[in-house]
């Protein structure tokens, strides 16, 4: 056993023992959802993995399913029928209602096709919004209508600080993230009142994944964020750990929050390293 594996072993606390859930968005080993699935498994949680049918053909999700002893149900997160089927089948497979759901989904067609923010193609904009933002509402509405969540369950989606502050190359994803964060608050109210379920978004550091690297100038940007963050950028593994804490019973009263998980970036005006870059 390597040193890292030993550390990981020591770091398993059984925080999610007996808990069941659904994890959206594991495309490959870099995906935040992939790392989260591995950590949830280590903490004793069981889950169904899901992704868009097309992503599965490209992705390596079978490998993850094998490792974490989980089943895969394809679902396009913009398709209500797919989501209904996913929620029903997941409860059958897992043998009961769910305790946690991770929404780790994002895609901008304008970004992909190189359309500038001042030159959006609005059918691209609508598609990207549906996939990246409205899908979170669709996922929660499907869970809500099926009464699929156990009391004190936890729903998490991933977001980025471009929802609050402008990052020119983040394009229409900034607007999608603002919408996503709003949906977390709005649905969080009803899920809390009716089912004692919490809903939060994690605002994560730039992370080298397929979605992350799609953003123009990502390399410069991730280095800048690293230099600006007193603790350095949060990695995908760090994000997985944070999500485990939000799925656990240790955060029962945290809801309707946008939680910055960024090594301190969001509250740093400037760092010494960045000043040094500009000093002669």
Residues annotated as part of the active site: 160, 170
Q: Interface with ligand NAI includes 233 (CB under 6 A)?
A: no
Size of the site for ligand NAI (CB under 6 A): 27
15, 22, 37, 55: which one binds ligand NAI (CB under 6 A):
55
Nearer to ligand NAI (CB atom), residue 25 or residue 195:
25
Query: What tokens appear for 276 in the block?
Result: 């040094």
23, 86, 109, 211: which one binds ligand NAI (CB under 6 A):
211
CB of 276 to ligand NAI, least distance (A): 25
23, 32, 64, 109: which one binds ligand NAI (CB under 6 A):
32
Binding-site residues for NAD(+) sit at 25, 31-32, 105, 177
CB of 33 to ligand NAI, least distance (A): 6
68, 70, 78, 255: which one binds ligand NAI (CB under 6 A):
78
| Residues 162, 23: Cα–Cα separation, whole Å | 24
Q: Interface with ligand NAI includes 25 (CB under 6 A)?
A: yes
Q: Interface with ligand NAI includes 162 (CB under 6 A)?
A: no
CB of 94 to ligand NAI, least distance (A): 19
Q: Interface with ligand NAI includes 212 (CB under 6 A)?
A: yes
Q: Interface with ligand NAI includes 131 (CB under 6 A)?
A: yes
256: phi > 0 → left, psi -120 to 50 → alpha, else beta; which? left
CB of 226 to ligand NAI, least distance (A): 12
Instruction: Provide the binding-site residues for ligand NAI, judged by CB under 6 A.
Output: 24-25, 27, 31-33, 51-52, 55, 76-78, 104-107, 131, 158-160, 204, 206-207, 209-212
């Amino acid at each position: 056993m390597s040193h890292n594996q030993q550390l990981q072993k020591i770091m398993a606390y059984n925080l999610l023992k007996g808990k069941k859930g659904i994890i959206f968005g594991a495309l490959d080993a870099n995906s935040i959802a992939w790392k989260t699935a591995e950590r949830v498994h280590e903490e004793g949680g069981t889950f169904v993995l899901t992704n868009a049918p097309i992503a599965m053909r490209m992705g390596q999700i079978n490998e993850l399913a094998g490792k974490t002893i989980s089943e895969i149900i394809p679902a396009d997160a913009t398709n209500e029928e797919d989501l209904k089927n996913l929620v029903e089948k997941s409860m059958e497979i897992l043998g009961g209602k769910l305790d946690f759901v991770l929404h780790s989904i994002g895609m901008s067609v304008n970004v992909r096709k190189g359309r500038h923010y001042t030159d959006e193609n609005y059918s691209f904009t609508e598609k990207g919004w549906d996939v990246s933002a409205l899908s979170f509402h669709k996922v929660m509405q499907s869970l809500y209508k099926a009464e699929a969540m156990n009391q004190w369950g936890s729903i998490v989606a991933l977001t980025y600080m471009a929802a609050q502050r402008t990052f020119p190359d983040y394009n229409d994803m900034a607007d999608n993230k603002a919408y996503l964060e709003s949906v977390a608050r709005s649905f969080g109210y009803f899920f809390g009142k009716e089912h004692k379920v919490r809903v939060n978004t994690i605002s994560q550091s730039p992370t080298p994944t397929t979605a992350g690297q799609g953003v123009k100038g990502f390399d410069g940007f991730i280095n800048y964020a690293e230099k600006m963050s007193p603790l350095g950028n949060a990695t995908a593994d760090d994000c997985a750990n944070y999500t485990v804490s939000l799925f656990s019973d240790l955060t029962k009263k945290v809801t309707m929050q946008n939680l910055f998980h960024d090594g301190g970036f969001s509250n740093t005006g400037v760092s010494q390293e960045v000043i040094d870059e500009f000093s002669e």
